[in-house]
Structure 1
Amino acid sequence: MFSKVIDMNIFFECRKCRSRFSTEFLRCPICGGLLTANYDNLSWKPLNLNSIWRYSCLLPRNRTTIVTLGEGMTPIVEANNLAKVLGVKKLYIKDETRNPTGSFVDRGISVVVNNIEEDTKEIVCSTRGDTGASLAVYSARIKLKARIYVPRDVDLGKLYIMLLSGADVRIVPDFLTATYLAETESMQTKVVMETLPSYIEGLKTISFEIFEQLNMNIPDIIIVPVGSGALISAIWKGFEELRKLNLLDNTPRLVGVQVEGADPITMLFNRMKLEKMSAKTLARDTELFIPGLAETALEAVRRSGGVMISVSNTEIPRYIELLARTEGIIAEPSAVLSIIAISRILNSFIDADSEVLAVITGSGLRTPDVLRNLLPIEDMLRKVSEDIPRLATSRLGETKIQILTILKHKPLHGYGIKKELANRYNKNLSTATIYQHLRELENMGLVSRTRKVGKRGKVLYMVNN
């Protein structure tokens, strides 16, 4: 299944044999290489739109009416609090958690959906989570049937998005199986993968936004989490197009980040022998290797004068919490790799005066299982329990507060509390009313009863610690 693009200014070129096509294919029909989108005449004519379609003149599109959920135009945050903690002079965050499904992937899927034939009825993809969630939502918008193959360890939050959007979700043993099953349908159905040129084109709009949002300037260094390599390749492509348009003299240095044990592109960058990746990390989205995209990622990093590094999986929880507490951004594990990297390369690659931008690729609100492990349920309940007296007090009436004040000094029985209320506060209540208040305070866990030693054995009430 293929898409022929309306705009004849755009063509698709095989990176391997350099054949050119007016139609987008999953792979080159001649040699099997990956395709890239190119333009006969690059032009910079941003529209007055609050989405990636502001850059329509540099995006492929087949549909007459643009399908958008408001993807893109995400804010750049001046992360001053985090910069102080990390020891960086100037730190920006490109906050991709603000996209419709909470991920940068929405940019690519928006262009993919807009570049398919309008009479297409069905679309297929394999996913570790993000791509499937995004495709399900955009497909629902145009009543397109989406069949999505996912591995068993998919993040539940992303799986819920797919199911709620009405996608036909097929759970398979692993991502390799998911990819195989999706590709077997490519002759009959449009298959979405990160290798699609239209997908890469959507991602490159991050570069255009950085350029405009920083008043046509660029940071010295941009740090990007790397899985397949699609995002860092697209960011480089975007800046290269701006340079060819004579809007930039220089491009930023790109730093790609992976997790140790699941870092094939870092190993290739360092010219190390590539071994089978067996590590299971918190950053599940980065645990995939697509050789063709790995090559473009390496080219992007090297041509920019950048570097690929790997960080420890054990550091992820601490930096998720640090980002949340300093800048109020809840990031998923793979997204926070760009923050961890700053500490790793400070002084060795980041100079004291460098301006750094970290791309936060996805929201942690879609990975509740990870957040739950950061703050185990036992700790959370303990913390909430400790706050119950304070929270309950804020909902107490005047009489109950007065009773607690009286009991704070010494335990008393009901009649003694009645007398103290009359003496201290000139409040005359019936005994039945006093005991009703005491029962309610007991239910709140604020007071408890004990029996006084003696013949009569009166019940005394005391404030709980």
Structure 2
Amino acid sequence: MNSFLRCLSCHAVYAINEPIWKCACGGLLDIEVDFSRTKQWEIVKFPGLWKYLPFIPLPDKSIIITLGEGQTPIIRYLYKNQEILIKQEQLFPTGSYKDRGAAVMISAIRAMGIRSVVEDSSGNAGCSVAAYCAKAGIDCSIYVPASTSPAKLMQISAYGARVVKVEGTREDTARMVLSAASQNYYASHSWNPFFFQGTKTFAYEVWEQTEGKLPDAIILPVGNGTLFLGVYKGFHDLLSMGLIEKIPRMVGVQASLCAPLSHWEKLDLGGIPIDVNTIAEGIAIQKPVRGAQIIEALHQTHGMILEVEEDEIEMALRLAVEQGFFVEPTGVVGLAGTIQYLKRFPEVGKVLTAFTGHGLKSPEKILSVLSH
């Protein structure tokens, strides 16, 4: 399996072990993998997502940083006589699916000999990167919006990372960390291409867990698209290897207060009125870095973007806790979108979504919702 880094702007090519997070032209990097010589599905006897190591490009596959992540269960949830498959991504070591990406990205960073990184996050990615950096012995600074949930800030600090609070929006935090990234390696969950090589394992697991009988639609929350794009990449891998005939319809869900991608047909994410004061803080992204890639994934799978109102998110949260699932507000956005999708397309076949973050990430927001 040959793999290399390619710039999405100028198409420059770099070796997979090049210690860079963006192209010399400033463009985003992606990892291209050649599966033409892959004749069969090959897994190894490693726990969790690392069973897929043969399909995960890394600078050195002998260096793996793991906390036992992966292989989250899929449960069947019945909503008004319609079955919804829910993958429980809140059950990761740090409480969110971001551990998929962080495990692979930090493994790559450790293999390249990098000893200090910076990252920006609304919370969950920062928790994941801080945890895996702690395991790898890598110095870590996490830039976060000052409004980030206290539980997430505590978790990041507990792992020994430096927390840098930034006043303003999520985009203000991103701008601040880019300045720091001029002197430090940027372990970004949106810029760094290795992160998506971790989140793509979600698709591998779904394919195995459903015994190849894939859902008709995959419905996921979208902020910067780290899970959405990773899942698309994973299914694209399976398609390239001839293991599936087509990729399921990819449906992204955004909070209506911050839904720039719902205007994706205009191909213009600028000038759209956006209010980031949504309870779904984890996807309150005004300008997704990889917006063009998300749009392409929607085109390729005949997908769509759904907007959910705050009361739809709150209803989904109540439905989750009533069934014993303690999930943060952002973590139920996929369920809220799935319910809306089923109302719009009642004859649709099998659908799958995910709980993306544990309720202990944001107990104060949950208490606020449940108390009124």
Secondary structure of the residue aligned to 2:290 is helix
Shift of 1:317: 1.9
Q: Show the counterpart of 1:100.
A: 93
Instruction: Select which of 328, 351, 358 maps to 2:353.
Output: 358
Structure 1 stretches lacking a partner, 5+ long: 1-7, 380-465
Structure 1's 134 and 117: CA in aligned 2 closer, same or farther, altered over 3 A?
Answer: closer
Distance (Å, rounded) in 2 between the aligned partners of 1:134 and 1:10: 25
Instruction: Select which of 46, 50, 56 maps to 2:47.
Output: 50
Distance (Å, rounded) in 2 between the aligned partners of 1:122 and 1:196: 15
Distance (Å, rounded) in 2 between the aligned partners of 1:15 and 1:271: 17
Q: Show the counterpart of 1:120.
A: 114
Q: Given that residues 26 and 196 in structure 1 are in contact (C-alpha distance below 8 angstroms), is that contact kept between their aligned partners in structure 2?
A: yes
Q: Show the counterpart of 1:441.
A: none
| 1:138 lines up with 2:132 in the alignment | yes
Secondary structure of the residue aligned to 2:211 is coil
Structure 2 stretches lacking a partner, 5+ long: none
| 1:289 lines up with 2:286 in the alignment | yes
Q: Given that residues 97 and 331 in structure 1 are in contact (C-alpha distance below 8 angstroms), is that contact kept between their aligned partners in structure 2?
A: yes
Amino acid at match of 1:178: T
> How many residues of Structure 1 are paired with residues of Structure 2 in the alignment?
362
User: Superposed, which structure 2 residues align to 1:445-456 within 5 Å?
Assistant: none
Distance (Å, rounded) in 1 between the aligned partners of 2:262 and 2:344: 17
Q: Given that residues 77 and 93 in structure 1 are in contact (C-alpha distance below 8 angstroms), is that contact kept between their aligned partners in structure 2?
A: yes
Shift of 1:272: 7.7
Distance (Å, rounded) in 1 between the aligned partners of 2:67 and 2:321: 26
| 1:374 lines up with 2:372 in the alignment | no
Shift of 1:288: 1.1
Instruction: Select which of 15, 22, 41 maps to 2:8.
Output: 15
Amino acid at match of 1:67: I
Amino acid at match of 1:40: D
CA RMSD of aligned residues (A): 2.0
Shift of 1:87: 3.8
| 1:254 lines up with 2:265 in the alignment | no
Instruction: Select which of 313, 316, 340 maps to 1:316.
Output: 313
Secondary structure of the residue aligned to 1:268 is helix
Distance (Å, rounded) in 1 between the aligned partners of 2:268 and 2:322: 37
Distance (Å, rounded) in 2 between the aligned partners of 1:115 and 1:156: 30
Shift of 1:350: 4.8
Distance (Å, rounded) in 1 between the aligned partners of 2:309 and 2:86: 21
Q: Show the counterpart of 1:150.
A: 144
| 1:27 lines up with 2:22 in the alignment | yes
Q: Given that residues 327 and 357 in structure 2 are in contact (C-alpha distance below 8 angstroms), is that contact kept between their aligned partners in structure 1?
A: yes
- Which has the larger Rg? 1
Deviation readout 1:136-179 (Å, 9 max, x if unpaired): 11111122111111111111111111111111111110333322
Amino acid at match of 1:37: I
Distance (Å, rounded) in 1 between the aligned partners of 2:20 and 2:262: 29
Instruction: Select which of 224, 238, 244 maps to 1:242.
Output: 238
Q: Given that residues 228 and 289 in structure 1 are in contact (C-alpha distance below 8 angstroms), is that contact kept between their aligned partners in structure 2?
A: no
Give the alignment's TM-score, normalised by structure 2.
0.92
Q: Given that residues 281 and 313 in structure 1 are in contact (C-alpha distance below 8 angstroms), is that contact kept between their aligned partners in structure 2?
A: yes
Structure 1's 253 and 330: CA in aligned 2 closer, same or farther, altered over 3 A?
Answer: same
Q: Show the counterpart of 1:70.
A: 68
Instruction: Select which of 58, 71, 84 maps to 1:91.
Output: 84
Q: Given that residues 221 and 252 in structure 2 are in contact (C-alpha distance below 8 angstroms), is that contact kept between their aligned partners in structure 1?
A: yes
Q: Show the counterpart of 2:171.
A: 176
Secondary structure of the residue aligned to 1:261 is helix
Q: Given that residues 86 and 355 in structure 2 are in contact (C-alpha distance below 8 angstroms), is that contact kept between their aligned partners in structure 1?
A: yes
| 1:307 lines up with 2:301 in the alignment | no
Shift of 1:363: 1.0
Amino acid at match of 1:60: P
Shift of 1:117: 4.2
Secondary structure of the residue aligned to 1:38 is strand
Distance (Å, rounded) in 2 between the aligned partners of 1:165 and 1:55: 27
Larger displacement relative to structure 2 (222-231 or 51-60) = 51-60
Deviation readout 1:30-89 (Å, 9 max, x if unpaired): 3x221111123453311122221111122132353311001111111122xxx2x3442x
Q: Given that residues 195 and 230 in structure 1 are in contact (C-alpha distance below 8 angstroms), is that contact kept between their aligned partners in structure 2?
A: no
Report the identity percentage: 29
Shift of 1:17: 2.1
Q: Show the counterpart of 1:397.
A: none
Distance (Å, rounded) in 2 between the aligned partners of 1:244 and 1:39: 10
